[in-house]
Amino acid sequence: MNGIRFELAGADLWALPSGALWWPERHLLCVSDLHLGKSERIARRGGGLLPPYDSRDTLQRLDAEISRHDPAAVVCLGDSFDDLNAADAFEEDLRLWLARLMAGRDWIWIAGNHDPGPLDLGGRNLAELAHAPLRFRHEAARTAAPGEVSGHYHPKASVRAGGRRVRRPCFLTDGHRLILPAFGTFTGGMDAAAPELRALLLPGACAIMTGPTPVSLPLT
């Protein structure tokens, strides 16, 4: 499997090149911060225009991971839509595409700060999900027990390669908790060395950079 294997609270996990998390033992795929409908939300609020294909691109990459792994469960770690109006404005063909991906699976929408209410799209809507030994929530809790899996911060890390600096979304883990990168297109990100992230992580934490060849590097 192309990805980086690691352990969290006794669970054997894979950080995938796309930014998705795979838990083979439970046949569970986890993604965070899809931010579907972002370009529509920005246009609606009078902001700068983004290319209007972000939701399609995000669904295409999610479709590829679901086709590759055929998960029994999919956990979306919050901010799945850029706001609740973006969910209401989701185009019909995208709704049908999403419904096809959800069919026959336990699909869990974790509430985020952008989409705190229930989504009328099927699946289960939860504040967080306990799936021992892991607990899935949108934003990391400072006093979380080992095994927390969260998103929210859209972490990114950089490394020098071929004479230039490459910056990519990344997973962050210290063996105690895991923070996923944003899976959505045009989501931006926070530097992995930012104080807000370093304050959450124990010494010895590492970043796992996404991309065609995932790279694990220590946080310094």
* pLDDT value of position 86: 60
Q: Is the dihedral of CA 129, 130, 132, 137 positive or negative?
A: positive
* pLDDT value of position 41: 47
- Two structure tokens written together for 194: 């930012």
* pLDDT value of position 121: 83
186, 38 in Cβ contact below 8 A? yes
Which candidate, 21, 19, 1, places its Cα nearest to that of 11? 21
Question: What's the CA gap between 166 and 180, in Å, rounded?
Answer: 19
Identity at 85, one-letter amino acid code: N
* pLDDT value of position 40: 52
* pLDDT value of position 120: 78
* pLDDT value of position 116: 64
* pLDDT value of position 210: 96
* pLDDT value of position 32: 96
Q: Which residues pair with 124 in a beta bridge?
A: 108
Q: Give the Å distances, CA to CA, from 217 to 29, 147, 204.
A: 23, 21, 10
Domains and CATH numbers, the chain: 4-218 (3.60.21)
- Below-50 pLDDT ranges, the chain: 41-51
Question: What's the CA gap between 123 and 110, in Å, rounded?
Answer: 10
Question: What's the CA gap between 45 and 198, in Å, rounded?
Answer: 33
CA R_g for the chain: 17
* 101-116 tens-digit pLDDT: 999 999 999 998 877 6
Question: What's the CA gap between 102 and 65, in Å, rounded?
Answer: 13
